[in-house]
Structure 1
Amino acid sequence: MKAIALQEYGSADDLRLAELPDPKVGPGEVLVRVKAAGVNPVDWKLAAGGLDGLMEVRFPLVPGWDVAGVVEKVGFDSGEFSVGDEVFGYVRKDWVQQGAYAELVTANVRMLAKKPRSLDFAQAAGVPLAGQTAYRSLKRVGLRAGETVLIHAAAGGVGSFGTQIAVALGARVIGTASERNHDYLRELGAEPVTYGEGLADRLRELGPIDAAVDFVGGDAVEVSREFVSPDRIASIANPEVGAHGYVWVRPDGAELAELASLADEGKLTVHVERTFPLAEAADAWRLSQQGRTRGKIVLTV
């Protein structure tokens, strides 16, 4: 199969389109013919060695944890799916090596769900990591209908999902973003507020806040503590919130199925900023590294 691979830790400049052996399909796994792979900042951070102290990484390394495609082969005891099923998933395995930037990828059945009918493959590939991160963050703070949640970086890849999921739960959403993204947030159902200096003063004018989720880092947690009790703050970027509030997503097909249901009910849309062919993964990383993407970047295979 063709895949994007790294022979050692490196950057976008080190990505190469390579010919690699097709992956073996173990018990409890299926083989997915990849149609699209989502690009996330963790992909290039991991490739640069940023998670070396946390995760086992083996080479040649094929990056990518977000996938959408078609089941091509079913392993032993993998009856949850059949050949021909359209699926999407978060394929983070026990060690990092065989990722989704490839023509084929194996996945344990617990990592996958049926692809939403309302989304194409590129849109579906943009959901798993960002969508589950947003979903778990809102669950972590116990968000309920009728409450007000503050979402930092609400227009980004994770924040746009968090905004829509919170609205679907019946919550009021206050979302921080640059002014150029305010109309976009209004379309998603949020009340936008400009981030940066003076944020706390602007938030005081918007009334009480029940919970806060941080998808950007910086001083987001510190500002949130002025309005929200510590047990109702979650962050994907600041470990200072403690073990309870720090969110690290696990592969979970049941959560993906819930996100698929929201999409098919018209409550969750996916904005794909740009797609790149697999061979141009390096350019996709360079765009991601600019940190100004609205929605998702996706590789098409």
Structure 2
Amino acid sequence: MRKVSFAEFGGPDVLQLIDAEEPHAGPGQIRVAVRAAGVNPVDWRVREGQKLAAHPLALPSGVGLDAAGVVDEVGAGVEGVAVGDRVFGEGSSTYAEFAVLAHWARMPEGLTFEEAAGYPCVMETALRVIGEVGVVPGQTLLVSGASGGVGSAVLQVARDRGIAVIATAGAANQEYVRGLGARATTYGDGWVERVRRLGPVDAALDLAGSGVIRELVELTGDPNKVVSIADLDAPDLGVRFSGVAGSVPDALATTVDLLTRGKLHVPVEKAYPLTDAVAAHIDSQAGHTRGRRVIVI
């Protein structure tokens, strides 16, 4: 089978499309014929060799955590899923023609493989950081870097829970984040005052890693009310860096519920063939994404 792999840490150019042996489902796992794989920032952070305790690995390594596809192997002890089912979930080395998933859910009717592949990591992360920052219904959450996959999910989960959102995003994405229920402003010079004019902030999330931790602490008045998923230096300022996944099965169940109720839609901004994994990583690292990027097999 074809698979994207890397034998050394580094930039996007270390990614190679290779011929590899097919993986097989072990106990408690399933294997899917991958139709689409999600492109997540964690993918290129791991590729760069950043110290992410949640994702240790040995080289050479495959790439990717999220996938949507058709079940073609069911491991021992697995119930409730059969060969031929359409599923999405998390596993390992998902930039490949076949991948093993440890967590999965059936795809809701009407959802494409490309759309489904973009949800697992995004929704697990969104639900986790909303919980960690401690924001509750009736309060206001500031989201820095709100137009990407995680931001899009955070805004929609918050709206469903009755949490108000103030969002910062690029000029081209203002109407997009407003359409997801947020009060919006641009980042750049004067953004802190623009946020203040939109209202008081109870908690804040840094989703872009654009060097705004000090300002988020200033706006909330408490470093314990700020969480980052993108700035590895956040702990130096007393702010939590969230990098360890919570319950993926719970996240998938919530995703299916929101999708089924019509309360969640994260658009796919661009789909890449498996041969263009390098371009997918370059674009992902450049940021300014509206929604998700995926690789299509």
Q: Secondary structure at the match of 1:284?
A: helix
1:184 aligned to 2:180?
Answer: no
CA distance in 2, matches of 1:54, 1:245: 12
Q: Secondary structure at the match of 1:112?
A: strand
Mapped contact 1:114–1:257 kept (Cα < 8 A): no
CA contact (8 A) 1:90 1:251 kept: no
Matched, 1:163 2:159: no
For residues 279 and 192 of structure 2, what CA distance do their matches in structure 1 show? 37
The percentage of aligned residue pairs carrying the same residue is: 39
Q: Name stretches of at least 5 consecutive residues in structure 2 with no aligned partner.
A: none
Structure 1 CA distance for aligned equivalents of residues 171 and 256 of structure 2: 30
- Matches of residues 87-166 of structure 1 in structure 2 within 5 Å? 87-91=87-91, 98-108=92-102, 111-166=103-158
- The worse-fitting range, judged by mean Cα deviation, of 142-151 and 172-181 is 142-151
Unpaired segments of 5 or more residues in structure 1?
Answer: 92-97
Q: Structure 2: which amino acid aligns with 1:99?
A: S
Aligned to 2:228: 235
Q: Which residue of 2 aligns with 1:50?
A: 50
**Deviation string for 1:53-101 (max 9, x for gaps)?**
875322332101111112111111111422222211122xxxxxx5100
Contact 2:137 2:161 in 1 (8 A): yes
Q: Please point out which of 256, 260, 263 is paired with 2:252.
A: 256
Q: How big is the shift at 1:121?
A: 0.8
Which letter does structure 1 place at the counterpart of 2:196? R
**TM-score, normalised relative to structure 2:** 0.91
Cα deviation for residue 118 of structure 1 reads: 3.9
The alignment status of 1:266 with 2:277, answered yes or no, reads no
Q: Which amino acid aligns with 1:180?
A: A
Q: How far apart are 1:52 and its partner, in Å? A: 7.5
Letter in 1 for 2:285: Q
Task: Provide the C-alpha distance between the structure 1 equivalents of 2:163 and 2:131, rounded to a whole number of angstroms.
Answer: 13
Q: CA RMSD in A?
A: 2.1
**Distance in 1 separating the partners of 2:33 and 2:246:** 22
Dislocated runs of 4+, deviation >4 Å: 52-55, 241-245
Which residue of structure 1 lines up, in the alignment, with residue 37 of structure 2? 37
**2:38–2:67 CA contact under 8 A, matched in 1:** yes
- TM-score relative to the length of structure 1: 0.89
Could you say if the C-alpha distance between residues 219 and 243 of structure 1 is closer, same or farther in structure 2, counting changes exceeding 3 Å?
Answer: closer
Deviations along 1:248-278, one digit per CA (max 9) or x if unpaired, are: 3246112111012111211110211110111
Q: Which residue does the alignment assign to 2:15?
A: 15
Q: How much does 1:48 deviate?
A: 2.6
Q: Any idea what SS the aligned residue of 1:88 has?
A: strand
1:131, distance to aligned residue in structure 2 (A): 1.9
Q: Residue 132 and residue 13 in structure 1: after superposition, are their counterparts in 2 closer, same or farther (change >3 A)?
A: same
Structure 1 residue identity aligned to 2:65: W
Contact kept, 8 Å, 1:147 with 1:171, in 2: the verdict is: yes
**Per-residue CA shift, 1:152-211, capped at 9, x if unaligned?**
101122111111111111121110012211111111111111112222211221222222
Corresponding residue for 1:283? 279
Cα pair 1:134 1:158 within 8 Å, conserved: yes
Q: 1:178 to 1:69 in 2, by over 3 A?
A: same
How many Å separate the matches in 1 of 2:224 and 2:59?
40
CA distance in 2, matches of 1:269, 1:85: 22
> Partners in 2 of 1:243 and 1:80 — Cα distance?
41
The amino acid across from 2:279 in the alignment is D
